[in-house]
Amino acid sequence: MKDQPMAETSPAPYFAEIARGPDDGAAHWLTTRDGLRIRAGHWRPQSDAAGTILMFPGRTEYIEKYGPFATEMTARGFAVIAVDWRGQGLADRALADRRLGHVDRFSDFHEDVAALLAHATALDLPKPWYMIGHSMGGAIGLRALHQGLPVSACVFTAPMWGIRIPFALRPLARILSRFGARLGLSESLVPTTTIEQYVQVTPFEGNSLTNDPEMYAFLQMQMEKQPDLVLGGPTVQWLGQAMVECAALRAEASPNVPCITFLGDSEQIVSTDAVHDRMARWPGGKLDVVADAQHEILMERPDTRTRVFDAIAAHFRAHR
């Protein structure tokens, strides 16, 4: 990894009432090397820790979403730290309409990674460290591993190593990703997406996130109680940058880090072909295709969650 920034932090809001995480949850503001303010939240186990999980969230996400996950993993002996990436959660957002998901360059997220690592060091979070990358966080996490992320093992859930785009829309996506800036569309919402967050406008029946109605209602409650966390669809600039990064990652070899990737058998958001291709090229890596599961593996039905949480804990403990 690049040299980490100074760990300059101050207390930040943490919405415990909607997080439903461990009682000791706390959040801090972090300042990145390029001068943005992002937010990180952490939770510690009550017993001796088996290490710390660096949680790399997906697009639109925020630290409170991972409160239930933190409850499960701290019960299994792990500390957890999660981040509001730039442009989402309570972190600084790039555009006047804060509901637009935007990033200038995908590589900018690695300034956030550096700030998170400095903060985890300052908090003296127990080692070894491990990483979980979900969806967009899977792309950020894979790049971070290539850059020397100091973790002993990793897990991915529905990683964004390719974006699932309907066949009929692929030509439009390619045009927008290549020429959006020239056309003055960089800050425009990607067609077929909405300015509202997905769970605000999509009923549970037919959703593409989870088969668990209680977890879906949990996400809807968070949006209702804390509208500042809302993030809608991505901009053309975000789409172009994401497509470029996915293509660049596809050309890279797999890092020498023990890995399990969980992929729902009903995945509709990321490219399943890209996940299968990557894991076929990851020496010693394991692809776990989860039956009757969609994109949010960590928010699926209780029996699925328990199996996955147990497998994550066992994987990390095996690589201490």
- Please choose, from the candidates 179, 157, 186, 163, the residue with its C-alpha nearest in 3D space to the C-alpha of residue 58: 157
Q: pLDDT band for position 61 (50/70/90)?
A: very high
Domain boundaries, the chain: 9-317
Q: pLDDT band for position 8 (50/70/90)?
A: low
Q: Maximum distance among all alpha carbons in the chain?
A: 56
Distance of alpha carbon 253 from its chain centroid, rounded? Answer: 22
Evaluate if residue 118 carries a pLDDT over 90. yes
pLDDT in tens, 151-176: 999 999 999 999 998 766 677 667 77
CATH class of the region 9-317 = alpha beta
Rounded average pLDDT over 177-203:
87
Q: pLDDT band for position 3 (50/70/90)?
A: low
Q: Which amino acid does the sequence have at 244?
A: V
Q: Please tell me the distance from the alpha carbon of residue 265 to that of residue 46, in angstroms, as a whole number.
A: 35
For 44-84, list the strands marked E by DSSP. Answer: 52-56, 79-84
**Per DSSP, what are the bridge partners of residue 149?**
none
154-157 vs 259-264, strand pairing mode = parallel
Q: Please tell me the distance from the alpha carbon of residue 116 to that of residue 53, in angstroms, as a whole number.
A: 12
Q: Please tell me the distance from the alpha carbon of residue 121 to that of residue 110, in angstroms, as a whole number.
A: 17
Q: What is the residue whose two structure tokens read 């985890």?
A: 120
pLDDT in tens, 241-296: 999 999 999 999 999 999 999 999 999 999 999 999 999 999 999 999 999 999 99
pLDDT in tens, 239-256: 999 999 999 999 999 999
